[in-house]
Structure 1
Amino acid sequence: IAIVPHTGKPLALEVAAKTAELLCKNGAKVLLPNELAKGAALQKYADKEALDRADLIVVIGGDGAMLKASHEARKRQIPMLGINTGHLGFLTELEVDEVATYAKAIAKGEYQVDERLILEAEVSGMKPFFCLNDAVLSRSAAARLIYFDVFVDDNFVGQYPADGLLVATPTGSTAYSLSAGGPIVDPDVSCLLLTPICPHMLSARPVVVGIQHTVKIKVRYSDEEVLLTVDGVLGASLKEGQELLIRASSERLQLAKLNTRTFYDVLRERLQAGRDCAPQKGINNR
């Protein structure tokens, strides 16, 4: 088992050391990439080939750490499991106080694997980018509205004057897309979400697209370069006339699940969705 902590957070390093000890006590071989084995408590687990030798990656941090580690997990096609030391933790499976309870199951490989859709984003002349959450086209700080022409396969959807445009997976539907007015989508649904960012037209609404289709976004007009970010990381810049192709990748990301909570449990906990707001009898609710 390879442990990948968020090295910029002391709590994540502390939890990594405790998790490593618990997994070892339950019979697992624990490794950490050399560059992540910070401090005496973790140095003994250092191995430069940790990720290549692993059957499971345990990520300790928040959703950002999970997104970063997802690229290594995808390339090796091994599952990853998150322990939340961040804020929301939509992608993580366990809270810190649950690690001791589930350490034996993790060490013994007693978990299910949930496959998540990954996007492949391609700009002409560049290698494709892969993302678990979203691919975002947005303006630079000083730019004005961007005009995007959007196609699904060869079908013209329409033109969007907006600050930006993003394509998200169901996993990413609770991230930037949600903030931009997109729907929340169960990860078991196979689709792409096309969500405009601050569109300057009332008719511009999110569009749900089947995974058998390719979304093509052309920068029709912009007075500055348009920035492409994938899972929050800058990937490329596009000029007027350039196109971005986005499709569902043939690869999937594997998440290890211990059935500690459902997707809808996470929604209630993280977004306070479904909270009981009904007025109580006997209380003056004016």
Structure 2
Amino acid sequence: MAAMQNAFQTVALIGKYMNPEMRAHILALADFLLQRGVLVLVEDKTAVQSDITAYPTVAMDQIGLTADLAVVLGGDGTMLTVARALAQHKIPLVGVNRGRFGFLTDVSSDTMLDAMARILAGEFSTEQRMLLVAAIMRQGQLVSEGQALNDVVINKDGLARLIELEVNIDGQFVHRQRSDGLILATPTGTTAYSLSAGGPILHPTLDAIALVPICPHTLSNRPIAIHGNSKVVVTVIQSQDARVHFDGQHQVSLQPGDQVLVQRAPCSVCLLHPQGHSHYGMLRDKLGWG
């Protein structure tokens, strides 16, 4: 098959680090793509970790400038890292599941080559997934900021004491809560920590943010869903060990009086699925629904 017949001409491969089983899958996919006239690039850290030398390498921050498509082989954690890194480039991402649940990496490694053949033939659908951006303000000064595809989580670190938070949405006071913390989740993130905390599952295309309390002291404090354009300000009223987490991969310590400003990020993540992908079928499979 000639390269010009493919829906994508240059594909970057990114694998889960420190996984000895990953090398064989990356090489199998790289060889498959090469035989179909696709230029294959391997992310440089992936190449080093997997001892891959037969293909040109590319730094993560250059993938969006050099490739038409990025394939992520690993679990949802790997996809979260890659998605945040590449979101500004608007490059579509395909996830091949080599982890556990794989809500984001929904292509099975067993069907990887067949799925890629269909994708190269143009048989795919795309989804735009919301990102959140959060800024931590201390006495009016920016302390830190970060992005999240799944969730921004404000919680206590190790002490058994509850923390007290005040929530304002679009300038309106909502409530104060004493709890173990608060999850602010995108629709994508409602199948992650939010789900474990009793939050609702939102369809990934919904323009909404879920606010889910973690073990609230007042049982009437329930999860709510708000418009995706909302601006949320969470103020730490009382806590000795509060932290804010971005997708569970980056954290910043908080002090009483700190404010966490959370809103939709200006960019989004483009996920690509083989034709026939069903979000409800994925939920049925991953969650064991009958």
Is residue 131–residue 265 contact of structure 2 (8 Å, CA) maintained in 1? yes
Distance of 1:191 and 1:40 partners within structure 2: 39
Comparing 253-262 with 114-123, greater Cα deviation is found at 253-262
More displaced stretch, 139-148 vs 80-89:
139-148
Q: Aligned partners of 2:241, 2:159: CA distance in 1, in Å?
A: 10
- Deviations 1:184-240 (Å, cap 9, x if unpaired)? 111111100000001111111001110121111100111x13111101123311100
Distance across 2 between alignment mates of 1:232 and 1:205: 22
Residue 40 of structure 1: CA displacement? 7.8
Q: Quick one: structure 1 residues 238 and 39, their matched pair in 2 at CA, closer, same or farther if it must change by over 3 Å?
A: closer
Counterpart in the other structure of 1:11: 21
Q: 1:126: Cα distance to partner?
A: 3.5
User: What TM-score does the superposition give when structure 1 sets the normalisation length?
Assistant: 0.90
Which residues of 2 match residues 172-211 of structure 1 at below 5 A? 172-211=189-228
Does the alignment pair 1:36 with 2:46? yes
Contact 1:83 1:92 in 2 (8 A): yes
Alignment partners' CA distance in 2, 1:209 and 1:9: 39
Q: Distance in 1 between matches of 2:50 and 2:258?
A: 50
Partner Cα separation in structure 2 for residue 103 and residue 213 of structure 1: 37
In structure 2, the partner of 1:156 is 173
SS at match of 1:10: coil
Structure 2: 5+ residue stretches without partners: 1-10
Q: Which residue of 1 aligns with 2:259?
A: 243
Deviating above 6 A after TM superposition, structure 1's stretches of 4 or more consecutive aligned residues are none
Q: Which amino acid aligns with 2:266?
A: S
User: Structure 1 counterpart of 2:238, which letter?
Assistant: Y
Equivalent residues of 1:164, 1:197 under 8 A apart: yes
Contact 1:73 1:80 in 2 (8 A): no
- For residue 256 of structure 1, what is the amino acid of its counterpart? L
CA distance in 2, matches of 1:109, 1:31: 20
Alignment of 1:1-286 (within 5 A): 1-38=11-48, 42-49=52-59, 51=63, 52-107=65-120, 110-124=123-137, 125-142=142-159, 144-222=161-239, 224-273=240-289, 275=290
Residue 93 of structure 1 aligns to which amino acid in structure 2?
D
Q: Give the C-alpha shift of residue 84 in structure 1.
A: 0.5
Aligned residue pair count: 273
Could you tell me which residue of structure 1 aligns to residue 4 of structure 2? none
CA distance in 1, matches of 2:218, 2:282: 33
TM-score when scaled to structure 2? 0.89
Q: Which runs of 5+ in 1 are unaligned?
A: 276-286
Equivalent AA in structure 2 for residue 257 of structure 1: H
Q: Matched residues in 1 for 2:42 and 2:51: separation?
A: 11
* Residue in structure 1 matched with residue 3 of structure 2 by the alignment: none
Corresponding residue of 2:8: none
Is the Cα contact below 8 Å between 1:17 and 1:41 reproduced in 2? no
Is this contact kept in 1: 2:244–2:252, CA < 8 A? yes
Letter in 1 for 2:67: A
Amino-acid identity (%): 34
Deviation at 1:111, TM superposition (A): 2.9
Letter in 1 for 2:178: P
Q: 1:42 to 1:111 in 2, by over 3 A?
A: farther
Report the CA distance between 1:75 and its aligned residue: 2.7
Q: Secondary structure at the match of 2:39?
A: coil
Contact 1:129/1:235 (8 A) holds in 2: no
Q: Compute the displacement of 1:109 (Å).
A: 5.3
Separation of aligned partners in 2, 1:143 and 1:153: 32
